[in-house]
Chains A and B, each alone.
Chain A
């Protein structure tokens, strides 16, 4: 019972902070609201019994990546309201496109029924041990292949960053 209330509370907060990210004029405020939004999502992970994911989410997203965001905004000196004004047509068409997506999503979720999980509930499912077993057994190949992705991204970053010798 408590978890249901907690779920609705967290969802309300997540949606509110998400809206504030978009609506606030100052980029720094946007980023800070995004941090809060990520914290509420971490709360959802805890409710879903995925403790490890919740911790990693807080450390990586709310911690590292958001600090990086703040640094970039600071370095580019974007803390003023420098965003150029969009034309009314652009705003209108964006609103219509996003609104139709929202309509489709709401419409499809309205008719959704709760799916009962076929597996027996395992309270340890979110612990590192289970995650590790899945990662190194079923998902070994994607785990290995993502190393190529990271290597390519790193090589690219170095290539774009270095000066040409001459």
Chain B
């Protein structure tokens, strides 16, 4: 709860910066605020408290996920300093990003359908706007419009689902819904329809195939920093919500959503990875790879055993850190060379060894190769799925990751083995710091993943 209050007040303060002209101070202020939020958030560890008539519950699950989100947000702010340079919209950008974070924290901790809906909307509406924030860029406008229309459509499905579940169980409260469906009486059929519609709505938010058609266009059209935000924080928050709803509340009826999620996971992994192979622009390739990663996380969601929570937390952390690093480098390289085609990375190993090394570490992590964090992330996901008995799905996942290795390595090969006579790209201090921190984090998490796995 403290995290929620702090983040919302940070958002309001950043709006006031325009009025009282302390815009220069805002960047360090927001970074300090995020650190404070993290500290206050951690203080509530083990102190499970329900807030306001069981609307939010800050149990360890919520605190772990929201802390990871806040850390990723901190790294994201390091990455995105350039985004906050434009005078006119500076305070609005800060406020919208911070409000989106409020939505993300609500999604990790909700225990009521009303809060789920509000969380998704508070996260989505700033994203619709930020995607279109480079107003003179036509593809950014198109991405924003597409995201808004498709997002509104998906929210319609989600609301219809919530309404049907309310009709069947008579409650918005997750614990009461859980009791209603596990009691002796027959659950009305409309409950299952509602559950299916909610699955559609949430699958859209995590961009699972076949609800992914918006993702590549939106990820490509949006400013690269916003793409990084969507690929990491939005996805992590949506998965936290997904997991709370299906693995905790709807666990008893997992027989009726299991097959659907099985298909979703298999399709997401295969379609995401196979389509990524044919992309020539790095940003679009990473967009498809982000779709594919949602598929791996669905694997642990489907397993729904006591490994799932920690597996998804670890996978989400490893994937988000890797994505932040890759998107930072893509934005630096594309900014300097005016193009994000794979050929712009030719010879990066010679001209900018640091960029190339960090990019290699991050890509190896995304591909799941030891000793990086991505390897253990995939290992835990596959273990939890294997224990749950989904052997076939694990096989599909392994094939999909092998396809993934191909396109990640294409980029590494371009950086080191292809000739390119480009000049070295100058780096900001922020970006240097960010790249070093992410590279170390990926390696440390890859060597001792225990301290995140043991959290939940």
Contacts and interface: CB of A to CB of B under 8 A. Distances in A.
Interface of A: 104-105, 107-109, 111-113, 115, 137-142, 145-146, 148-149, 151-153, 155-156, 158-160, 162-165
B323 to A, nearest CB: 24
A140 B53 CA distance: 9
Contact of B88 (A107, A113, A155, A162): A162
A165 B189 contact: no
Contact of B190 (A108, A137, A153, A165): A108
Interface string B79-103: 0000000111100110110011010
B302 interface: no
Interface string B187-202: 0111011001000000
Nearest to B115: A142
A150 to B, nearest CB: 9
Interface residues of B, number: 41
B121 interface: yes
A159 B92 contact: yes
Q: Would you list the 6 A-B pairs with minimal beta carbon distance, nearest first? A: A156-B129, A108-B189, A141-B52, A159-B92, A152-B99, A141-B55
Contacts of A105: 193
Nearest to B12: A151
A155 B122 contact: no
B115 A155 contact: no
B443 to A, nearest CB: 37
B258 interface: no
Contacts of B189: 107-109, 111-112
A145 B190 contact: no
10 contacts: A107-B189, A108-B189, A109-B190, A112-B190, A139-B55, A152-B125, A159-B93, A160-B132, A162-B89, A164-B89
Contacts of A112: 188-190
A156 B148 CA distance: 13
Contacts of B121: 149
Contacts of B135: 160, 164
Nearest to A118: B170
Contact of A139 (B56, B88, B114, B170): B114
Given A142-B118, A145-B118, 15 more contacts: A104-B193, A112-B189, A139-B114, A148-B8, A148-B102, A148-B122, A152-B100, A152-B125, A152-B126, A155-B15, A156-B125, A159-B96, A159-B129, A160-B129, A164-B88
B112 interface: yes
A45 to B, nearest CB: 15
Contact of A152 (B53, B122, B133): B122
Contacts of A164: 86-89, 135
Interface in B57-112: 86-89, 92-93, 95-96, 99-100, 102, 106, 112
A81 B12 CA distance: 45
Contacts of A113: 188
A148 B87 CA distance: 24
Given A115-B188, A138-B53, A165-B88, A156 B122 contact: no
B51 interface: yes
Given A142-B115, A148-B122, A165-B87, A155 B192 contact: no
A115 B170 contact: yes
A82 to B, nearest CB: 18
A100 B130 CA distance: 36
Contacts of B56: 141
B229 interface: no
